[in-house]
Structure 1
Amino acid sequence: MMVKLKTMLLLPILLIVLLLATSATAGQQGRKRTMKKGILLVAFGTSRPEAQSAFRNIENMVKAAYPGIPVRWAYTSEMVRKKLAKGGVYLDSPEVALAKMMDEGFTHVAVQSLHTIAGKEFHDLVKNARAFAQMNGGFESVLVGYPLLGKEEDLARVVEAIIKIIPNDRKKHEAVVLMGHGSTHISSAVYAAMMFYLQLKDPNIFVSTIKGSLPIEDIKKILLQKNIKKAYLMPFMSVAGVHARNDMAGDQKDSWKSILTQAGITCVPILKGTAEYNEIAAVWIDHLGEMLARFE
């Protein structure tokens, strides 16, 4: 019954992701030019300097895995881009970054999403990349790599990685609560599937989201029912940015730490994004490698 539930949750989402990713692979037909490959890393973005270590880590891993291929960055969040620009730091949108790469003469671009799920922003990224792939006189091919949880096998792999990165001093009777961003998009159901996989390994690991159907209040009720007195709070987002530092670990009364503390649960926040852990970042790197291999 539980396996059927997992399959029902994942099947429509994975079909949508597969169709969208395939639709972005159409390349220009006709005369071939000398191949010039490029990589575009696309994240939601962050305005917190201390969270940038996650992006530096994954960029270093990309450059180590695929030396000689130029790497560019883009943020999908307009709000983050505008906030950074006020401080003199300028990041491109994916569309502007692709236009610049086209102007530089790149013929083949692997766009790697650093999102966690195939939500609205990933869907928009694929659709817009497809438009660039179909421009006459532009790229010969633009391919978009899956987000972290883009394929069913990714869930099992990420679960194993999470088990490894949980602090060693955490006891089995203590909880681990992962903070996902969440979404009203159907792909947000992947978070529930993720918790299913995790709880097969450890029944005291939970996934909650800022948006969507896994609110912290519901997780709090479960923790109280299980008489759990201590919880480790960990971001399940690529960076430990504003959400992790304010909504999860902040001192305001509506933060997750405050909500659980008021319920008698001691909280230990871990301010480290998933892209800072090589075990998890490797999943994104492998998705990128799949796209680069298709150019050959």
Structure 2
Amino acid sequence: MFLSRLTRWSTTLLLLLVLALPAFAGHGKNGAEREGILLVAFGTTVPEARAAFDNIEEEVRKAFPDTEIRWAYSAKQVRRTIKENEGTALLSPASALARMGDEGFTHVAVQSLHTIPGAEFHDLIRTVAAFRNMPKGTRTVTLGEALLSSPDDMEKAAKALVSTFPAERKKTDAVVLMGHGTHHPANIYYPGLQYYLSKVEPNAFVGTVEGAPSLEDVVNELKARKARTVWLMPLMAVAGDHARNDMAGPEPESWKSVLEKEGFTVHTILRGTGEFDAITAIWVDHLRDAFSRLNQ
């Protein structure tokens, strides 16, 4: 009788072990895989400027129609201002990745929408690295490069930028692209872009608000070219506060006012680079690269 009970107990135990195998196997593989995309922008407090984000998302959806897209914004002040003024809580890159991990995303391709790989981009590198192989969260997180990250990027960007110049512009009219600029070593990408831009359109110039080339540098180039009419355009993903105030504002120190005081006829274009498909395509290419590395 004892042997009979032992046999029944052994059979029951064996059956339970067999039934549990799929569950154990699932835990060994960390469960089902789920891929996602996180787009990271600096952000803007100007509602009209967000048309750039809408266009970028549309282009990303075309390239990745079956992948869920989320957003994050790296500028704390932008997030705080929008929360206070609009009641909308925007997520930082870290918060967005944490939420995606909690919701079951195992593989996330993060795409930077910054123009150059400056301080904001390097902060994002560290954030992405921290979220790799998270317990019960994201296992693989990759990062797509900023818009200008290589000589090839700058050559493509120069051609793409020229394609966005206004149709009514005359060939002798100059175009000035206003970038943000930075004290970070990555500021070198702005004069680098100028080199490639000059090969495509000699009357196009890059300037920055907080770096080099400066507005003074640009004015000197315009005078050397004997330009009379200048078109001002932002070299930023969105035509936000810098574009509407520092570039096109009525204040005496705005670029428009300074150039007019120097005797130039000035036209302003308030459209961010993210509103143009030719430029957005470069970010999308970087995202394709990041996405392809998810399962390597």
Structure 2 length-normalised TM: 0.88
Counting only pairs closer than 5 Å after superposition, residues 167-246 of structure 1 correspond to structure 2 as 167-246=166-245
**Equivalent-residue separation in structure 2 for 1:32 and 1:90 (angstroms):** 31
Identity %: 47
Task: Tell me which residue corresponds to 1:18.
Answer: none
**Equivalent-residue separation in structure 1 for 2:65 and 2:221 (angstroms):** 47
Task: Tell me which residue corresponds to 2:56.
Answer: 58
> Cα distance, 1:136 vs. partner?
2.9
**Equivalent-residue separation in structure 2 for 1:190 and 1:150 (angstroms):** 8
Task: Tell me which residue corresponds to 2:153.
Answer: 154
> Cα distance, 1:32 vs. partner?
4.3
> Cα distance, 1:68 vs. partner?
2.0
Task: Tell me which residue corresponds to 2:17.
Answer: none
**Equivalent-residue separation in structure 2 for 1:220 and 1:103 (angstroms):** 52
SS of the residue 2:38 aligns to: strand
Task: Tell me which residue corresponds to 1:133.
Answer: 132
Q: Deviations over 1:241-283 (max 9, x none)?
A: 0000100000000000000000000111000000100000011
Matched, 1:293 2:292: yes
Counting only pairs closer than 5 Å after superposition, residues 83-94 of structure 1 correspond to structure 2 as 83-86=81-84, 87-94=86-93
**Equivalent-residue separation in structure 2 for 1:232 and 1:43 (angstroms):** 26
| Structure 2: unaligned runs, 5 residues or longer | 1-27
Task: Tell me which residue corresponds to 1:35.
Answer: 33
Q: Deviations over 1:226-254 (max 9, x none)?
A: 22111000111000000001000000000
AA matched with 2:37: I
Structure 2 contact 190–212 (Cα < 8 Å) conserved: no
Task: Tell me which residue corresponds to 1:166.
Answer: 165
> Cα distance, 1:173 vs. partner?
1.8
Structure 1 length-normalised TM: 0.88
AA matched with 1:246: N
Task: Tell me which residue corresponds to 1:282.
Answer: 281
Task: Tell me which residue corresponds to 1:16.
Answer: none
In terms of mean alpha carbon deviation, does 285-294 or 118-127 score higher? 285-294
**Equivalent-residue separation in structure 2 for 1:74 and 1:192 (angstroms):** 29
**Equivalent-residue separation in structure 1 for 2:289 and 2:221 (angstroms):** 40
Q: Deviations over 1:146-194 (max 9, x none)?
A: 0111222111111111111111221222110001111101111000010
Structure 1 contact 38–106 (Cα < 8 Å) conserved: yes
Structure 1 contact 36–106 (Cα < 8 Å) conserved: yes
Q: CA RMSD in A?
A: 1.2
Q: 1:81 aligns with which of 71, 79, 82?
A: 79
